[in-house]
Amino acid sequence: MNFEHTEDRRMLADSLNRFISEQYAFDARDRIAKSAHGFSKDIFRQFAELGVIGALFSEADGGFGGGGFDIAVVFEALGRGLVIEPLLGAVMVGEALSVAGTEAQKEKLGDIINGVAVVAFAHDEADTHYERTRVQTKAERSGDAWVLHGAKAVVPQGEQADLFLVSARTAGNVSNVNDEAGISLFLVPAKTAGLTVRGCPSIDGGRVAELSFDGVTLGADALLGAEGQGHATLERAIGRGVLALCAEALGAMEAAKTATLEYLRTRKQFGILIGSFQALQHRMADLLLEIEQARSAVINAAAAIDTGDRVTRERALSAAKFSIGRIGALVAEESIQMHGGIGMTWELPLPHYAKRLVMIDHQLGDEDHHLQRYVQLGKELAA
C-alpha cells in the first residue's frame, strides 16, 4: 500500500504547521488556554480562512475533503501544536448533520465550515461510563414540540458554543446498555430557555461545561433524524471524533519525542551528553517503535472509517483508541522521566503534552473500554 499523502494533503499540512508555529507558539497557547473563553475565536476564524475546517467536510457538505486521512492530517498538526480551538466539536456535530440532517438543518454546515458558528457535542453524562446507549436525559413530546430534562457533563468549550448536539431518550431502557432503540438527537441553540451552562477550566487547557436541561422546549425541527433511531448517527459522529483524537495524540507524541531527543542530545551530566548513555538509548528506541505502532493504528483507522462495513470500521477505531491510550501514557511518562526534574516544570511545554495525552485517553472511551469493545465487535464478526 502507498501510505504517502496526496499533494493537496501535504500542502494543507505544511500550511497548517507553518501557521501554528508562527501564530500559536507555546506562550500564546498558554495565554489562550487560561483565558475566560478557553480558546481564541480569532484563531478559530483564521483556521476557517485557511481551509482547515473545510478540509474536514466533503464537497457535498460544502468542504473539500472529509475523508479519514483529511481528518488525520489536520488533527495531527493540531496535536503537535496543542491547539485547543473547538474543531473536534465541528467534526462530530458536522458528521451528524451530514448523515441525518434535513436540507434546512444542513444549512448550518456552512456556518461551521466558515468558522461563524461554534458547535459542541453533548452526549456524556455523569454515570455514562463511556457506554453510548446509557442516556438518562429524556425528551418527551408536547404537541408538536419536545421537552428535555436531564444533564450532560464535560462538554468541551460548551460555554462559548452557539449550538449543541444533544442525545436524549425518547423511549427504551436506560439500564440496558444494549438497548440502542429509543435514542434521539436534538439540535439545541445555546440561548434556549431552561438550558443552564456551567463552565470550568480543564486540566489539560481550555474549558469544559456542564449542561442542565430543565424543561427545555424545542420545536419539531430540532429533532435530528428519525425519532428513537439516533444511535447509528451517534456512532458515526463518535467514530469521527475517535479518529480525530487519535491523530491529535499522534501529533502530541511526535512533539514530545522531538523535545526529548533534543534534550538527550544537548543535556550533559558529569561532562557527558546523557544521550550517550546506553540505558537511555534503549528506552528512546523502544519509545520510537511504540510511536510508529501508534501511527500504524491511526493509518488503519483513517483507511477504515469510510468503509461501508460497520464492524470493520468500528473495530479499527477501537483498536486505534486502545493503542493511543496505552502508548500515549507511555510517551508521557518516559518523556518526563528522561527529562528528569525539569520535565515537571510548568513553564516547559512537555508536561502540557503529557497532560493532553493522558486526557485524550479519557475522551470518547478509555483504553479499557475500547479493548472490551474491540473484543465484542470481534465476536459479532465471527458470528
Q: What is the 3-state secondary structure (H, E, C) of 257-293?
A: HHHHHHHHHHCEECCEEHHHCHHHHHHHHHHHHHHHH
Q: Which CATH class is domain 120-226?
A: mainly beta
Scanning the structure block, which residue is given the C-alpha cell 510508529? 292
Give the residue from 90, 98, 96, 59 showing the smallest Cα distance to 74: 90
Confidence at residue 178, expressed as pLDDT on a 0 to 100 scale: 78
pLDDT of residue 307: 86
Whose cell is 494543507? That residue is 12
Confidence at residue 91, expressed as pLDDT on a 0 to 100 scale: 98
Q: What is the pTM of this model?
A: 0.96
pLDDT at site 2: 60
- The per-residue pLDDT for 227 is 96
Q: How many CB atoms lie within 10 A of CB 4?
A: 8
Q: What is the pLDDT of residues 92-147, one digit of tens each?
A: 999 999 999 999 999 999 999 999 999 999 999 998 889 999 999 999 999 999 99
pLDDT-flagged residues of the chain (< 70): 1-3
- CATH 2.40.110.10 domain range(s) in the chain: 120-226
Q: How many CA atoms lie within 13 A of 22 on its CB side?
A: 7
Cβ contact 233:224 at 8 Å: yes
pLDDT of the residue at 175: 75
The whole-number pLDDT of residue 363 equals 97
Helix (H) or strand (E) holding 79: helix 68-80
Q: Which CATH class is domain 7-118?
A: mainly alpha
The pLDDT value recorded for residue 168 is 97
Q: What is the pLDDT of residue 342?
A: 87
The yes/no answer on whether domain 232-382 falls in CATH 1.20.140.10 is yes
